[in-house]
Amino acid sequence: MNLEQLEKAFQDKIDQEIKIEPKDWMPEAYRKTNIRQISQHAHSEIVGMLPEGNWISRAPSLKRKAILLAKVQDEAGHGLYLYSACETLGISREETINDLHSGKAKYSSIFNYPTLTWADMGAIGWLVDGAAIMNQVMLTRTSYGPYARAMVRICKEESFHQRQGFEILLTLSKGTAEQKAMCQDAINRWWWPSLMMFGPKDTESTNSDQSMKWKIKRKSNDELRQNFVDMIAQQIKFLDMTLPDPNLKWNEEKGHYDFGEINWEEFWNVVKGNGPCNKQRLEARKKAWDEGAWVREAAKAHADKKANLEKTKAA
């Protein structure tokens, strides 16, 4: 087959909802887009452990501590599935991680905001994991097989994350005046950054059209963002709290909530690396990588020894 025929056969497969698998022929740009997106996703899971890990030792009870610990461990697992999915596209784990450390690869900007109080654990679970679910449920149907399958399992765990976050806030919302204020303050600080998680507006999103055609994405940034606003605007009623947006209002005609404008200057500023914690997050990741060198060396020495032993046995 010539290139044109290969490309046509590839697109036909996608149009027929047949998954693309690691050994299948694929356009270089499809491979690159998936590597970029999956690695960015993997990095977000791993960097995302940092703001919450910060609260494990300060959780208010043993039960809360166990739940938060399990949640943060889930995120590590998500990162590992995704790094593995990335490797099936022909890039090494080391290269992927180097790109994070050098700043070449991005991760979700949301994790560059600090976690100031215990209520932030609730707001992150409810809003940040909630926004992640919106995106990831769509990705269970993405065209690249290993990515889609990883998402199925990840989504199950994410819905537990969202519920645990909501439950933290629900408890605070029924507490003392101080606890209520803490709850509202966390919602105020996390609301806008969580809307930013869906990325730039459709009119300014450069990769979107091709990703839709290849069914890497199936919904646009603005569509997903609208779904998220509609969901949260309903759920917040149970908390008796408010969202920090005076323009948030049900629009009967559209069947959706209207909402205010995101501060796009802040959005691009954090993307470019100037958010409140960008530097700190990358430094923490680099330190963890350096401190883990002995584990990688020991694992390699063990694998070599085992391989040698088998060789001698065979001989």
Residues that bind Fe ion (CB under 5 A): 45, 75, 78, 129, 158, 161
Nearer to Fe ion (CB atom), residue 135 or residue 173: 135
Q: Quick one: tokens of 308?
A: 């040698």
- Following CA atoms 232, 238, 241, 246 in sequence, which dihedral angle do they give, to the nearest 10 degrees? 50
Nearer to Fe ion (CB atom), residue 87 or residue 158: 158
Nearer to Fe ion (CB atom), residue 158 or residue 245: 158
Rounded Cα–Cα distance for residues 256 and 233 (Å): 10
CB of 39 to Fe ion, least distance (A): 15
Long-range pairs of 15-21 with CB within 8 A, sequence gap ≥ 24: 17/215, 19/143, 19/144, 19/145, 19/148, 20/143, 20/144, 20/145, 21/145, 21/146
CB 19 within 8 A of CB 79: no
What is the three-class DSSP state of 104?
coil
From 34, 36, 224, select the one nearest 147 (Cα to Cα): 34
Nearer to Fe ion (CB atom), residue 120 or residue 129: 129
Rounded Cα–Cα distance for residues 133 and 155 (Å): 6
From 39, 202, 223, 196, select the one nearest 110 (Cα to Cα): 196
CB of 43 to Fe ion, least distance (A): 12
CB of 157 to Fe ion, least distance (A): 7
CB of 281 to Fe ion, least distance (A): 16
Nearer to Fe ion (CB atom), residue 45 or residue 245: 45
